A and B are shown apart, each in its own frame.
Chain A
Amino acid sequence: MKTEHPKLREFKFTLYRIFKNPAAIIGFSLLIFFTVVALAAPYLAPPKYAHAPYRMPHKGFSPTPKAPSEKNIFGTTSGQYDIYYGVVWGTRTAFKIGLWVVCVAGVIGIALGVIAGYYGGWFDEILMRLVDIMWSVPLLVMAMTIVVAFGRGLNNIIIALILVEWRWYVRVIRSEVLKLRDQDFVQAARLMGVSDFKIMWRHILPNSIYPVLIMASMDMGSMVITASFMSFVGLGAPKGFADWGQMVALARNYIVGPPDDPLRYWYTVVIPGGCIILFVLAWNLIGDALRDAFDPKLRRR
């Protein structure tokens, strides 16, 4: 009666658990929307400068934003940069920041955390003290140091974020590994003469990865918000770069309009800001859904 492969069956079951949750459906729809926008960016907003598509095109230098019109459907922000173009290409920037930071920090953190947790001893001791030291360095200080040393730019922000983010992954996965290390099935594998590397790869990693996946999905959002914040305070993307945070920063002086019409320039802040919020929301909803779906207590009868 059971013909499908068990891995497929488990996967279906996981999908079922994820999509039982209405929040997950919202999260994934938003994510799909952003993904489509990011992939289709060259068609949705053909770049003006082929060699540098992330530079937002602008006509004129007037600091006063212009309201949405037929030419600029989302209007223009300070410096006459086209908001529509910035928002579309900014999606790519957001994915770039999130994926780079989460993947690199995740891989570093997981590798170090698994090794430290599994072997323990002096390596673990040194690594964890290093992590403790890293904890004491505030993100902003780290980012400023790097920007001062290497100059302003998105890439440097990504490096700064990776440098502060890996410690989270080390901690989370190490605590999972410590729980698993003395489990009977790991001992049984040791008894069969399975090498340490294979034990880590086959027995420990698959059983400890889920909290990390959940954290990674939450992090995708929070990294984008942090990067936006750094762009806002002037450490991140340069002026005119298609990045949501940078666009909000451009609109800094137009958050509140003239006294008689305080909401006149709403589009300069609300559109890129809304993108940030929706992007973060999407990842957080997904993270929540994953947490519910992977929770071992709820998952198994």
Chain B
Amino acid sequence: MDTILELKKLQKHYSIRGGVLRRQVNTVRALDGIDLDIYRGECLGLVGESGCGKTTTGKAIVRLHAATAGSIHFHPANGDADMDIARVPRRRLKKMGLRSKLQMVFQDPTTSLNPRMLVKNIIAEPIRERERLTARQLEDRVLELLVMVGLTRDHLLRYPHEFSGGQRQRIAVARAIAASPEFIVLDEPTSALDVSVQAQILNLLQQLRRKLNLTYLFVSHHLLVVKYIATRIAVMYLGKIVELAPTDQLFADPRHPYTCALLSGIPIPEVGPRPARMVLTGDVPSPLNPPDACRFHTRCPFCIAICREQEPPLEKNGRGYAACHRKNEVPGLVATQYG
């Protein structure tokens, strides 16, 4: 399959400085060695709980953060030589065309749109950065984009606060596609929205992906939303990917105990018999000093000796990957203990 992005051993550490001399006293390991291939045209879901590093991954790809170590290889669609996003100096990103090809939609549209700019200028900004157009052409382009996201000419000359949450998110999406990107990071794009509006945005994103041949990284904590939109799903826990599989396989046959717990934890908006709940004890450990070996062992109900000693590698499993020493036993264990 055609790969658009290759993440290799990606790390992002934040140092915590303290004391009078601002010495480094501790490190937050937000990302601790992520290996991930993203295929052109897919929508890869990235799920996990808060603090697991899913947003950090997204921001590292679009270079809002510089990674501490590792590489992010980007293969442009036009067949140009691939480049390592993590290594390009910040000043050259734009010149190399990376800025417009990698875009992001943020979680909360109330904070991601400049409150003092008109919608017209908000959407025109990325276009102005890329090419010189006359005012007339620019307006036509902006209008075209507005229509594409389901807004009209009336909305052109308004401020963001005059819109509802869903409409604002549409504007944010229009701004992201205005740069004509190949790849968009969607950072919880619907979690600040109401349920009825969430569906509008999800459908819009689906349409745009097909129409513009986009690749998405959909970051979310909501498994059902990810299930709806993503073709593959990566589950993260404490800065690591613990399981990566096509959506149907992940839901039908989860192999990591954490994935099982996440799946059984989502409240399902359906009545009728539901599978027994696998409630984890305790909280997510702090990324300041994550547990050794398998990071999940402190909360894992199936933990055995090897889990405390050795870190499980992300290994092939069916059409996906899982990082668990007991990945072949997990379905059985879940069935006997919680079934």
Contact = CB atoms under 8 A, between A and B. Distances in A.
Direct touching of A and B (C-beta under 8 Å):
yes
A6 interface: yes
Interface stretch (B13-21, B100-108, B328-336): B100-108
A193 B64 CA distance: 11
Contact of A185 (B93, B100, B103, B112): B112
Contact of A207 (B107, B114, B175): B114
Given A207-B115, A207-B116, A187 B106 contact: yes
Contact of B175 (A188, A190, A193, A203): A188
A183 B107 CA distance: 12
A191 B62 contact: yes
Contacts of A206: 114, 116-117
B179 A192 contact: yes
Nearest to B98: A193
A194 B106 CA distance: 17
A203 B64 contact: no
A301 B259 CA distance: 42
Helix, strand, loop or mixed for chain A's interface? helix
A59 interface: no
B117 A188 contact: no
Contacts of A194: 125, 129
Nearest to B107: A184
Contact of A192 (B100, B107, B115): B100
Interface string B86-103: 000000011000011011
B157 A183 contact: no
B106 A6 contact: no
Contact of B64 (A5, A6, A183, A190): A190
Interface in A101-157: none
Interface residues of A, number: 21
Interface in A140-189: 183-185, 187-189
Nearest to B178: A192
B26 to A, nearest CB: 21
B28 interface: no
B111 A185 contact: yes
B129 A193 contact: yes
Contacts of A5: 157
B118 A183 contact: no
A10 interface: yes
A191 B114 contact: no
B126 interface: yes
B117 A202 contact: yes
A193 B111 contact: no
Given A193-B99, A203-B114, A207-B115, A188 B104 contact: yes
B164 to A, nearest CB: 12
Contacts of B154: 2
A148 B223 CA distance: 74
B114 A192 contact: no
Interface string B151-178: 0001001110100000000001001000
Chain B CB within 10 Å, residue with most, of A5, A183, A193, A206: A193
* Most-contacted residue by chain B among A185, A202, A300 (CB, 10 A): A185
Given A188-B106, A300-B161, A193 B94 contact: yes
A2 B152 CA distance: 14
Interface string A200-225: 00110011000000000000000000
Contact of B99 (A6, A7, A187, A192): A192
Nearest to A186: B114
A150 to B, nearest CB: 40
A2 to B, nearest CB: 8
B174 to A, nearest CB: 12
A188 B116 CA distance: 15
Most buried by A among B108, B114, B118, B158: B114
A191 to B, nearest CB: 6
B226 interface: no
A193 B112 CA distance: 16
B113 interface: yes
Interface string B300-321: 0000000000000000000000
Contacts of B93: 193
A242 B80 CA distance: 74
Contacts of A7: 118
Contacts of B99: 191-193
Given A5-B157, A193-B129, A188 B112 contact: yes
Contacts of B130: 193
A187 B154 CA distance: 27
A187 B64 contact: yes
Interface string B113-136: 111111000000110011000000
B111 A191 contact: no
- Which one of A191, A202, A207, A300 has the greatest number of beta carbons of chain B within 10 Å? A191
28 contacts: A2-B154, A5-B157, A6-B118, A6-B158, A10-B159, A184-B106, A184-B108, A185-B112, A187-B104, A187-B106, A188-B112, A191-B62, A191-B64, A191-B99, A191-B102, A191-B103, A191-B104, A192-B99, A192-B100, A192-B129, A192-B179, A193-B94, A193-B130, A202-B117, A203-B114, A206-B117, A207-B114, A207-B116
Interface of B: 62, 64, 93-94, 99-100, 102-104, 106-108, 111-118, 125-126, 129-130, 154, 157-159, 161, 172, 175, 179
Given A192-B179, A193-B129, A202-B114, 19 more contacts: A2-B154, A6-B157, A184-B111, A185-B114, A187-B64, A187-B104, A187-B106, A188-B112, A188-B172, A189-B114, A189-B125, A191-B99, A191-B104, A192-B100, A192-B129, A193-B130, A194-B125, A206-B114, A207-B116
Nearest 9 CB-CB pairings of A with B: A193-B99, A184-B112, A193-B94, A192-B126, A184-B106, A206-B116, A185-B114, A184-B111, A193-B129
